[in-house]
Amino acid sequence: MKNITLTFAGALALILTLTGCDLCSKPAPTDQPAEKPVDPVTVIRVNEPLKFDGKLDEAFWQKAPAVEMTFYDITKGYPAKSRARLLRDKFNGGRCRFAYDDNYLYIAAELDDRDVYQNMMADQKYHFKFGDTFEFFIANTVNSKYWELYSTPAGHKSMLYFLAPLMPDEKENLRDLPGFEVASWVNGTLNNHDSADIGWSTELRIPLASLEKTMGVKFGPGAPFTCLVSRYNHSNDLRLVQHSSFPKQPVLNFHLVEYYAPMNILR
């Protein structure tokens, strides 16, 4: 038995020598498929004034490339009949555009909504718990700092600042971003479940000086900024809150900064 073992070991050594130990040089197999690169968002440069009213009727907004927000199916794991019933709800989509000038970064969102609703009429609140909310996250690839900014149909705002992803105590992250403003417009009614609405739109205006100071990175063409836009849609005729975003995350978690979209800032 000893001779057979030695013969086998010798044969194996000969094979490895003849193949250049190819078996040794190959990486270990992995069950993680290659991930598709995240598509960038285009941030256009504008030189004309913005009437800051949430209506998005400036000509440059029609020229700015839009990204479409994608629906998250959170019914997986539900019983089949219940899931089928929940998925019969029509998805209310949304589109977002991006622009900047010498002083501000502008975000514009146009959100389809049959029942525009928000029950929190104050700033610096977790609005997504109380009704329709649009969110804008902006990060960068130089450090771990990022902002999470809210806008509501009633024109209220919130600002959360993170020194690192998923900080444990969100209350500590409620900070002021000096000069940040939102303006919203409802195409229909607010908090009237008896009427059929068309949707709402909102504009976010972020001072570049405040953004650069807090993040430690200068904004402009070639800058390493990334972003995500997301939405919580509460409606009387929806059986579940609808979540959507661009880009869509691997799981429903809007703090996965590694999966944010690069910002292609034009000159």
pLDDT in tens, 128-187: 999 999 999 999 999 999 999 999 999 999 999 998 876 656 667 899 999 999 999 999
Collect all residues with Cβ–Cβ distance below 8 Å to 83 and sequence separation of at least 6. Answer: 75, 76
CA 191-192-195 angle, 5° bins: 140
Domains in the chain: boundaries: 41-265
Reported CATH class of domain 41-265: mainly beta
CA distance 216 to 165: 16
pTM: 0.86
H/E element holding 48? none
pLDDT in tens, 14-55: 433 433 433 334 444 445 567 888 999 999 999 988 899 999
The per-residue pLDDT of the chain, averaged, comes to: 88
Please give the sequence-ordered ranges of beta strands (E in DSSP) within 101-180, or none if there are none.
Answer: 104-112, 133-140, 146-151, 157-162
Q: Is the pLDDT of residue 127 over 90?
A: yes
Per DSSP, helices labelled H in 120-238 are 208-215
CA distance 117 to 242: 13
More confident residue, 206 or 170: 206
CA distance 217 to 236: 42
For residue 7, give the DSSP letter.
Answer: H
pLDDT at res. 68 = 98
